[in-house]
Amino acid sequence: MRPTGWMGGAVLALAGALVVASCGQGATGAHHGDPASAPTATTQQAHAGHGMKAEAPPPAAPLRAGERFVTLKMPQPYTPAAPAGATDEYRCFLLDPQLQSPAYLTGNQFLPQNTDLVHHAIVYAVDQAGADKAQALDASTPGEGWTCFGDAGIENGNWIGHWAPGANETLLTQRVGHPVAAGSRLILQIHYNLLASEGKPAGSDQSGIRLRFADGAQKLTPLETTTLPAPVELPCTKQESGPLCDRAAAVDDLAHRFGQQARETADFLGKTCGHGKALAPGDTQSCSRKLPVGGTVYATAGHMHLLGRSIKVELNPGKPGARTLLDIPQYNFDEQAIRPLPQPVAVKKGDTVRVTCTHDAGLRKMLPALSHQPARYVVWGEGTSDEMCLGLLIWSPGH
């Protein structure tokens, strides 16, 4: 996933108005380089990530009044191939939902065909101009789809849905939905993880998606997805050594695998959250932002990779009326479902949202997917052996 929310005086990518950001780091976690508190077998299972077979998606919930299903899949099977030195590929595919009139996306269920390869997926909606750019990019790229590390590969894509292990269709009980204009196309970005198949044929994938649309003439409250990234500055454990334990070398390696935008993202998050100064390395990092507008939050989600321990999203921490929007004290990579709030939460312009993540480099030697990977200083990166700290707000700004 790519951070697409607000960061200081710049927009990091797709969907953000400007927000003042401040970030910080916490104390080193208990597991960092401490053999006495090494991960248990239960911990290994909770962080297995592609080590466990995913179950078939459950049947869709019944349609509600005014809804219809549209099911799409990739035009052709695709066999992922990571760039030299990498074990991940991000590939985008253009899909046509055949919308003759405006609609609301009220639910979507990604249907992964090859769960050994699929790490996560994001669905973007683009207008006709965006679709034309995507078609040109597809036509100029060998094979099905196009490479799209970090985002959809074109500007102005609107994030309307995503999937990660453990997530299925999430239906909000309120009358809400993501508005999708007539004639829009969808870009399905899939992150393929090739760690499990390294050195062996990866196989192909032809995933699909089941979309739940409501007529755009209905009076639904429009939803947006806003991403809330925090930096990752995770050093090697005291028991590890190697050239990539140096941050500069690790970031150079990241840029070699995914391009200069990967370096820029990692450095941008760190410097912005450190108010222009480099953040101190540590297991726990956080980032706070002031909302540029008010609105209503309906659901949240959190995303990390295999070294993730915990993630929390807080509203106005340390202030009267503070509340926790998301708290996952024992993060499990294979349980990343969107979490509807018990009741929608109203937020005001200037409210602070803080995201905090704890990672554990000691997991690297305990997990089959990572145990053969070299020790490295871990920053924000697209690869499964890199890390992320990403909170998601599914909300309606201004409502």
Is 167 inside any structural domain? yes
Q: Which of 1-5, 119-123, 169-173, 363-367 has the lowest mean pLDDT?
A: 1-5
**What is the per-residue pLDDT for 56?**
65
Confidence of residue 17 (pLDDT cuts 50, 70, 90): very low
> Of residues 24 and 108, which shows the higher confidence score?
108
Average pLDDT, the chain: 84
Quote the domain boundaries for residue 117: 67-218
Is pLDDT at 47 greater than 70 in this prediction?
no
Neighbours of 344 (CB within 10 A): 20
Is pLDDT at 262 greater than 80 in this prediction?
yes
Is 315 inside any structural domain? yes
Q: Identify the CA nearest to 187 among candidates 125, 105, 99.
A: 125
**What is the per-residue pLDDT for 212?**
96
CB 106 within 8 A of CB 67: yes
- Among 117-121, 254-258, 352-356, 367-371, name the most confident range: 352-356
DSSP letter string over 135-193? Answer: HHHHHTSSSSSEE-SSS-SSS--EEEEEE-TT------SSSEEEEE-TT-EEEEEEEEE
**What is the per-residue pLDDT for 49?**
53
**What is the per-residue pLDDT for 335?**
87
Q: Which of 15-29, 104-118, 318-332, 345-359 has the lowest mean pLDDT?
A: 15-29
Whether 364 and 240 map to the same domain: the answer is yes
Whether 79 and 145 map to the same domain: the answer is yes
Whether 233 and 367 map to the same domain: the answer is yes
Average pLDDT estimate for 286-312: 95
Q: Which of 181, 200, 218 is the last residue of a domain?
A: 218
Is pLDDT at 61 greater than 50 in this prediction?
yes
Neighbours of 366 (CB within 10 A): 18
Crossing angle for the helix pair 247-258 and 260-273, to the nearest 10 degrees: 140
**What is the per-residue pLDDT for 97?**
96
Residue-wise pLDDT for 213-239, tens only, equals: 999 999 899 999 999 999 999 999 999
Token couple for 324 = 């926790």
Confidence of residue 314 (pLDDT cuts 50, 70, 90): very high
Is pLDDT at 281 greater than 90 in this prediction?
yes
Is pLDDT at 351 greater than 60 in this prediction?
yes
**What is the per-residue pLDDT for 14?**
27
Q: Which of 188, 218, 248 is the last residue of a domain?
A: 218
Whether 199 and 333 map to the same domain: the answer is no
User: What's the number of domains the chain is made of?
Assistant: 2
Is pLDDT at 33 greater than 80 in this prediction?
no
Is 98 inside any structural domain? yes
SS3 289: strand
**What is the per-residue pLDDT for 13?**
33
**What is the per-residue pLDDT for 327?**
98
Whether 27 and 108 map to the same domain: the answer is no
* Separation of CA 248 from chain center: 25
Whether 366 and 309 map to the same domain: the answer is yes
Whether 77 and 204 map to the same domain: the answer is yes
Pick left, alpha or beta for residue 306 (phi over 0 → left; psi -120 to 50 → alpha; otherwise beta).
alpha
Whether 71 and 100 map to the same domain: the answer is yes
Is 338 inside any structural domain? yes
Average pLDDT estimate for 134-152: 88
Of all residues in the chain, the percent with pLDDT exceeding 90 is 61
Whether 74 and 29 map to the same domain: the answer is no
Whether 103 and 168 map to the same domain: the answer is yes
Whether 361 and 299 map to the same domain: the answer is yes
Is 62 inside any structural domain? no
Is pLDDT at 308 greater than 60 in this prediction?
yes
CB 355 within 8 A of CB 229: yes
Q: Which of 187, 218, 249 is the last residue of a domain?
A: 218
Is 90 inside any structural domain? yes
Is 138 inside any structural domain? yes
pTM for this entry: 0.85
> Of residues 14 and 117, which shows the higher confidence score?
117
> Of residues 92 and 32, which shows the higher confidence score?
92
**What is the per-residue pLDDT for 18?**
26
Is pLDDT at 21 greater than 50 in this prediction?
no
Is pLDDT at 166 greater than 80 in this prediction?
no
> Of residues 249 and 11, which shows the higher confidence score?
249
Is 55 inside any structural domain? no
Whether 26 and 83 map to the same domain: the answer is no
Separation between Cα atoms, residue 357 and residue 328, nearest integer Å: 10
Confidence of residue 76 (pLDDT cuts 50, 70, 90): very high
